[in-house]
Amino acid sequence: MLECPSMSIRIVFMGTPAFAVHSLEAIARLPYQVAGVFTQPDRTSGRGQHLAESPVKRSAAALGIPVFQPERLSAPEAFEQLAALKPDLIVVAAYGHILRKNVLDLPRLGCLNVHPSLLPKHRGASPVAGAILAGDEETGVTIMLMDEGMDTGPVLAQVPSAVLPEDTTGSLTERLARVGADLLAQTVPLWVEGKLKPRPQDHARATYTRVITPQDGLLDWKLPARELWLRVRAFSPWPGSFTFWKGHRLKVIEAVPLGVATDQPGRVLSLAAGSPAPVGVATGSGVLGLLRVQLEGRRELAIDEFLRGSRDFVGSVLDQEVSC
């Protein structure tokens, strides 16, 4: 029996978090050989600091695809492992390693990247959170032919997706992961068959995001309520948005911006009946209504339930650091 020509195409997939799993599964359904999966090494996580496999590693194992976990892709032995797989195409989705020129030049069909923004907007480390922080009403996914720059390669395909008012980075990432996987499944066959022409990005329109740190979650009550609302959504689920009350960290899980009169920034106010939230916090402009919170060491609560056990919360002033 003659081998189907498409089955001679060898693909290596590179990815690590849950976002990349949908793309891996989409590639595995195409009529090509997935010769191997590269993902980050197992890391310790949780209170017990147990070694945890990446979501992509677990998915690859379930699909029966060989897994490689080099600490550094730039190491000579890692490149030798990759080269031995003889990839015609490399597909990358949130891998977490920079691909150097020798890797980019290895596959004859190049390296494709699944990027969760409409490039050239929101290049860099945090494109999903970046779209929420910017107040964008629309973002999307780009399939890009990688070059040596930071998300600067030419575009093969893009698809827009709405940013909903209730979206967090968690919910939007999950939706874009599915959108990206569908787009990837459509794009790869066209690219393999030579039916796509890469379109250079307009670098003059580029915007950049940065690595988010745990300290970014600290709420500055002098900022406008709308900006704080965007931060609560952008930093969910990680690093979370927080303030301090009575010397304990208080996470703000869900909130809503309200255009009502303000008091001292950080003061907790009782809001009128019929308001979207029963209490809010005065900000530099407007009030941030609180809907769900979590006090350090306790479970997450709807604000009504939290107030029943913390009757002195209203009228207090929230801190930006642990009070001595």
Core vs surface per residue 187-226: b (16+ CB within 10 A) or e = bbeebbeeebeeeebeeeebeebeebeeebbbbebebebb
State the average pLDDT over residues 47-52.
77
Tokens at 59, concatenated: 């998915």
Q: How confident is the model at residue 149 (pLDDT cuts 50, 70, 90)?
A: very high
* Burial of 80: CB neighbours in 10 Å, binned 0-12, 13-18, 19+: exposed
Say what the pLDDT of residue 319 is: 86
Please write the tens of the pLDDT for every residue from 175-184: 999 999 999 9
Please write the tens of the pLDDT for every residue from 185-194: 999 999 999 9
| pTM (predicted TM-score) | 0.94
Query: What is the SS3 assignment for 191?
Result: helix
Count of CB atoms situated within 10 Å of the CB of 144: 23
The strand ranges marked E within 56-194 are: 67-68, 89-93, 111-115, 123-124, 138-145, 155-162
What is the rounded average pLDDT for all residues in the chain? Answer: 95
pLDDT at 2 exceeding the cut of 50? no
Angle of CA points 270, 275, 276, to nearest 5° = 110
Please write the tens of the pLDDT for every residue from 82-129: 999 999 999 999 999 999 999 999 999 999 999 999 999 999 999 999
Host H or E run for residue 105? none
* Burial of 158: CB neighbours in 10 Å, binned 0-12, 13-18, 19+: middle
The larger pLDDT score, comparing residue 58 to residue 2, is at 58
Say what the pLDDT of residue 35 is: 98
Could you tell me the CA-to-CA distances from 262 to 66, 132, 152, 278 in Å, in that order?
A: 58, 24, 44, 15
pLDDT at 324 exceeding the cut of 80? no
The larger pLDDT score, comparing residue 143 to residue 260, is at 143
Does the CA dihedral 286-314-243-217 come out positive or negative? negative
Please write the tens of the pLDDT for every residue from 59-69: 999 999 999 99
Q: How confident is the model at residue 1 (pLDDT cuts 50, 70, 90)?
A: very low
Say what the pLDDT of residue 322 is: 58
Please write the tens of the pLDDT for every residue from 263-322: 899 999 999 999 999 999 999 999 999 999 999 999 999 999 999 999 999 999 998 775
Q: Which amino acid is present at 194?
A: G
Q: What residue ranges define each of the domains in the chain, with the CATH number in brackets?
A: 5-209 (3.40.50.170), 214-309 (3.10.25.10)
pLDDT at 262 exceeding the cut of 80? no
